[in-house]
Amino acid sequence: MLTIGWFSTGRDEAARQLLQVVYRKIQSGEINCRIEFVFSNREPGEDKQSDLFLDLVKSYQIPLVYFSSQKFKDSFGLPAKPKDEEMRQWRLHYDRHVMARLERFRPDLCVLAGYMLIVGEEMCRRYNMINLHPAVPGGPKGSWQKVIWTLIENGAKESGVMMHLVTPELDSGPVITYCIYSITGRPFDSHWRILNGRSVKEIKREQVEKNELFQLIRSHGLAREFPLIVSTLKVFCKGDIEIKGGKLFDKMGTPISGYNLSQEVNRSMKLP
């Protein structure tokens, strides 16, 4: 049975939903694995949303480990605008504290699902880690909010969701699985027309994230995140993908460059 370490900041409802979906699939026997621990970089009392996430983990009786990245950053004395080397040192020391707290666990695979920190080189070497990112391979990097605003700014025709191997470079590791979907045609075109050439800066100022196109792209992406992460874990559980030396191989030992699961994900997803 595959053992999993689950990393999440737990900052929103989507983070809870991702864990809920995978936990239920494990309980039903659809995914043959066990979540060995959940780690969060937020502690109780830091944020209402992350408190709800931590309570959810406790309700599942999964071992929970947390260590506040914000409190550590404050104690580390990181300046308001740190240089690259200062950030690298902070990340190195924070990750070492995290690894010390996780020393008793030996997960086969670690899943980053809404974990809002870049993982440093030492932790990448310690664990086989995969990350959920709401974009097509080679697409925008950063948070899901940043990805969507970039899509709108560029007038993009498609978006997607991918699972990739974690490296110290943000959202740049080898792609494991992905799906692609159109953000034109019905029901998107009418919302694109409403923008009428307005800039993203103007939309943000007036509507923030309440813009209907922004919300529509988010809902279609989120609907695909759940089946993609489930399908990806199934592939690992069956041994169809292995991670060796920071590279991906199929069960025959042949290097792979990522599986397009668009058809499978589209069949199983539930749109709002």
Query: Which helix (H) or strand (E) element contains residue 189?
Result: helix 189-195
**What is the DSSP-derived secondary structure letter of residue 117?**
S
What pLDDT is stored for residue 16 in this prediction? 96
C-alpha 147/C-alpha 216 separation (Å) is 13
Domain range summary for the chain, segments of one domain joined by +: 1-117, 134-272
Query: Residue 24, SS3?
Result: helix
Options 3.40.718.10, 3.30.590.20, 3.40.50.980, 3.40.50.170; which CATH number does 1-117 get?
3.40.50.170
- Whether the per-residue pLDDT at 271 is higher than 60: the answer is no
- Whether the per-residue pLDDT at 77 is higher than 90: the answer is no
What pLDDT is stored for residue 28 in this prediction? 96
- Whether the per-residue pLDDT at 272 is higher than 70: the answer is no
Q: Stretch 89-102: mean pLDDT, rounded?
A: 95
Mean pLDDT of the chain: 91
Query: Residue 211, SS3?
Result: coil
Tell me the per-residue pLDDT of 9-31, one tens digit each, with 9 for 90 and over.
Answer: 999 999 999 999 999 999 999 99
Tell me the per-residue pLDDT of 203-238, one tens digit each, with 9 for 90 and over.
Answer: 888 887 889 999 999 999 999 998 999 999 999 999
For residue 7, count other CB atoms closer than 10 A to its CB.
27
What pLDDT is stored for residue 148 in this prediction? 95
Please report, as a single letter, which amino acid is at residue 53.
Answer: F
More confident residue, 171 or 135: 135
- Cβ atoms 108, 3 nearer than 8 A: yes
- Whether the per-residue pLDDT at 192 is higher than 80: the answer is yes
C-alpha angle 150-226-261 in degrees, rounded to nearest 5: 80
